[in-house]
Structure 1
Amino acid sequence: MAWLSPSFPVGAFSYSSGIEWAVEAGDIRDAASLTDWLSLMMTAGAGTCDAVLFVQTHRAVGRGDKSALREVAELAAAFSPSKERHLETTAQGRAFIEATRAAWPCDAIEMLDDIWDGAIAYPVAAGTVCAGHGIATETALPAFLHAVAANWISAGVRLIPLGQTDGQRVLAAMEEAIARTAARALTASLDDIGGAALRADLASMKHETQYTRLFRS
């Protein structure tokens, strides 16, 4: 609960995952269009990819398989579809590792450091720490995806803008997409990673050259 709280110092509030551009372009206009956009991101975009990366990281750490952990960490760092998406996931990943190392240290963090000196994606960081502290994947993964969705919604609430009540309605409407994504990821492999949320990927690329921006992605 502490690691996935909005108050945990990973800087998640600074990123919108391209939502800022989608609002400016008119793709996202209200609670209904925000729900549609984010549900697709969760089931066929970044949410799905991050879920698989989280699970594979968790399992590699649980087995003590350094080779598999390095493979996941390297793939996650290389798999971002845009410069800003890469910044978002790796900045949060590094912040997550440093914050948990300071307050909740575990051997898994040191193992990750030993085998990988590159950028650390957010799902790899979270999966490593959860496995290192013995939190089951089936418990940790839905919580991780819920936190990701909540941050997306927070950005949408501020940008459209929406009231907090509408924001909660969007989160409630996404519960099925979150649960479905988590269930699929638990039976997936790295070969299953892929996405079809092309407009969301384009939004993360377009955001880089927006004239005015409130978010870093």
Structure 2
Amino acid sequence: MNTLALVRLLHLASPTLPVGAFSYSQGLEWQVDCGAIRTEADAGAWIAAVFDAGIATFELPLLAAQMRAWAADDIAAVLDLNDDYLASREAAELRAETVQMGYSCLQLLKALPECAGVAARLADRGDIAYPTAWSGAAVALGVPVEPALTAWAWAWAENQVMAAIKAVPLGQTAGQRLLMALGEAMPARVATALELPREDWSNFAPGLALASCRHETQYSRLFRS
């Protein structure tokens, strides 16, 4: 991986990427509201469980498959995987989240000459999930698959920890401890995702689905999911 590709990957994984990731908690806020998450340990256990139940075993292998499809210029496979990802969003909030972030990502890609072709290939294709647009950008910018998956996992974990810092609330040092613990598990999860057959992908996380559904009617909220 050359230095420019690394810079581009850091760009894609940055919390400053204008796609609105900071505004979502993916059910974590409801877990705080109902009292299931009160401490740093509670937050770490919830985030790690969601990561293992869905991110590591569904989003990461799907992202890898999409990047391979983009590299092969197989737009039919890209869109097939896009439909799979949309179908995997059990709650209205979770689906709206990925569609909004996918739309925002595409608007950004249109303005970046290196990625405008990705946006053009996805124009008028219906709802586009965030991984679909992001994976196309990663390939267009010359990012290899394994580092891309690692960055995706890190960005997700960072957003979840920042949501916990705001909602529980937790201190910044507690947040860094959580990230250190979550990061330790990522290399093995990424390695597994790279080889996981499609028939073994799984996002069975009923607790996340229920938390997301409950969050839709939560009285007072900081986050959109």
TM-score range, shorter chain: over 0.9
Distance 1:180 1:198, change over 3 A: farther
Q: Pick from 113, 129, 133: which aligns with 1:125?
A: 133
Query: Contact conserved, 1:52 with 1:186, CA < 8 A, in 2?
Result: yes
Runs of 4+ in 1 over 4 A off after TM superposition: none
Q: CA RMSD in A?
A: 1.6
Map 1:12-91 to 2 at 5 A: 12-91=21-100
Deviation for aligned residue 1:178: 2.4
Distance 1:99 1:154, change over 3 A: same
Q: Does the alignment pair 1:192 with 2:200? A: yes
**Separation (CA, whole Å) in 2 of partners of 1:178 and 1:198:** 22
Q: Does the alignment pair 1:208 with 2:195? A: no
Per the alignment, residue 167 of structure 1 pairs with 175
Q: Pick from 115, 119, 141: which aligns with 1:105?
A: 115
- Paired residues in the alignment total 215
Deviation for aligned residue 1:42: 0.8
Percent sequence identity over aligned pairs: 37
Distance 1:47 1:93, change over 3 A: farther
Q: Does the alignment pair 1:152 with 2:175? A: no
TM-score normalised to structure 2 length = 0.90
Query: Contact conserved, 2:55 with 2:153, CA < 8 A, in 1?
Result: no
Per the alignment, residue 177 of structure 1 pairs with 185
**Separation (CA, whole Å) in 2 of partners of 1:82 and 1:111:** 28
Q: Which runs of 5+ in 1 are unaligned?
A: none
TM-score normalised to structure 1 length = 0.93
Deviation for aligned residue 1:106: 4.1
* Secondary structure, aligned partner of 1:131: helix
Query: Contact conserved, 1:43 with 1:177, CA < 8 A, in 2?
Result: no
Q: Which runs of 5+ in 2 are unaligned?
A: 1-9
Deviation for aligned residue 1:101: 2.3
